[in-house]
Structure 1
Amino acid sequence: MDYLSEVRIENLNTMTVASASRISTNPEDELIAYMTKWAEESGIKNSRRFGSDFPVTEDEQNRGLRGYEYWVSVDENVLLPNGMTLKKVEGCKYAILRITDPMNDPFERIPMGWKKLADWVNSKGFKTSSDNERHWFEEVLEIDRVVYMDLYFPIE
């Protein structure tokens, strides 16, 4: 699995994000396209963007539906359209793993990345920060024409 990096530890500062969620058969692509278009039309540039799974009911899952939530970092005074909310995401220490070319085989590479990251965190004895409403999320980056995905696992 040469597409998975070693784990690194970083602190992320508190940030304000525009957030939306969607439940469908392809929520990631739909939501990312919607929020990217909104950000461009709103003149939001150089913002960080994060995504995470969003819970679905058992019935929705049985119908082949999945949920996804997407964030765009913004100024706290931004005007949001209906369906988006403003959230303050508290700063936290994260264990981070990078996946090279995650969309080459996303249903293998991304779950394998999360497994390796969770195994690493558990093997090091870190306490996870889920009790403090911390978030597990992913960030897609393009560096020198190569696509990467960083997975963020909150730790204390």
Structure 2
Amino acid sequence: MSFGKNLQYLRQLSKNMTQEALAEKLNVSRQTISKWEMDAANPEMDKALEICKIFNCTLDNLFREEMDKRSDSYSNLRVEEVAGFQYIEHTVISTDPESDAISRMYKIAEENGIENPRVIGWDFPNLSQEQINVFSMHGYTAALVLSDDVKPEGYQIKEQSSHKYVAIRIERPYDNPFVTIPGAYHTLFDFMRTNGLEQAENDVIPCFETDGDSMDVYIACR
């Protein structure tokens, strides 16, 4: 863990705040910020508390955590207004549900003549403790985004209204999925906290990820 790396990480999340801008907020010199970020010095307690207030974090976040879990795989961290869309969904509960759920959506797309289908997905949380702890199961919901003229039979068509999301892109998400994908969500939650955003969960898909060689991860916010 490194206070300096954490401070630099928080600056970058906060709309790429410059060292000069942070120095002005703290009434210190830019050189002081530079020393902190190189771990050549640590701030006094009053300045550390001011930093926590600026970035909406805790002293534990600053000094004890490894906040920057990003990798070279991440890019295009942003706030995006996602246009409304219609979709159908399919949930699988098993020891490896993602591939089955996603494959089902691509099969439906092929059956309905949908070219370049857009498939998204998210974890399905409503499992019993027995399913999780005894049988090592988890759930995953895959969804096929529909155009107005496509209505697959046998599925309830749902609607997602236009909504604001924070998002990040992962290149090569499946090279190390158990690190890069959770790390992307971690980065998005840090970004939301630092910029005064809250997660939105009512009447909207709370979070989802796209399928493909590169993956965009989205969390609904307000």
Sort the TM-score into its range (normalised by shorter chain): 0.7 to 0.9
**Secondary structure class of the residue paired with 2:157:** strand
Q: Is the 8 A contact 1:47 1:72 kept in 2?
A: yes
Please tell me whether residue 67 in structure 1 is matched to residue 139 in structure 2. yes
**Secondary structure class of the residue paired with 1:45:** coil
Indicate the residue corresponding to 2:5 in structure 1.
none
**Which TM-score applies when normalising by structure 1?**
0.88
Larger RCO (CA within 8 A; separation ≥ 6): 1
Q: Is the 8 A contact 2:105 2:119 kept in 1?
A: no
Unaligned residue ranges in structure 2 (runs of 5+): 1-70
For residue 79 of structure 1, report the CA deviation from its aligned partner: 2.7
Unaligned residue ranges in structure 1 (runs of 5+): 142-146
Kindly report structure 1 stretches of 4+ aligned residues shifted beyond 2 Å: 131-135
Indicate the residue corresponding to 1:78 in structure 2.
151
Alignment map for 1:7-156 (pairs within 5 Å)? 7-55=77-125, 56-62=127-133, 63-75=135-147, 78-81=151-154, 84-141=155-212, 147-156=213-222
CA distance in 2, matches of 1:131, 1:72: 21
String of CA shifts for 1:81-140, please: whole Å, max 9, x gaps.
Answer: 3xx431101110111011110100111111111111111111111122124444200012
Identity %: 30
Q: Is the 8 A contact 2:106 2:119 kept in 1?
A: no
Quick one: which amino acid aligns to residue 178 of structure 2? F
**Secondary structure class of the residue paired with 2:102:** helix
CA distance in 1, matches of 2:119, 2:191: 25
**Secondary structure class of the residue paired with 2:136:** coil
Quick one: which amino acid aligns to residue 163 of structure 2? C
Q: Is the 8 A contact 1:16 1:74 kept in 2?
A: yes
Which moves more between the two structures, 69-78 or 108-117?
A: 69-78
Q: Give the paired residue count.
A: 149
Quick one: which amino acid aligns to residue 151 of structure 2? V
Q: Is the 8 A contact 1:90 1:134 kept in 2?
A: no
Higher share in strand = 1
Higher share in helix = 2
RMSD over aligned Cα atoms: 1.6
Q: Is the 8 A contact 1:20 1:85 kept in 2?
A: no
CA distance in 1, matches of 2:97, 2:219: 22
Structure 1 pair 79–134 and aligned structure 2 pair: CA distance change class (3 A): closer
**Secondary structure class of the residue paired with 1:122:** helix
**Secondary structure class of the residue paired with 2:72:** coil
Quick one: which amino acid aligns to residue 155 of structure 1? C
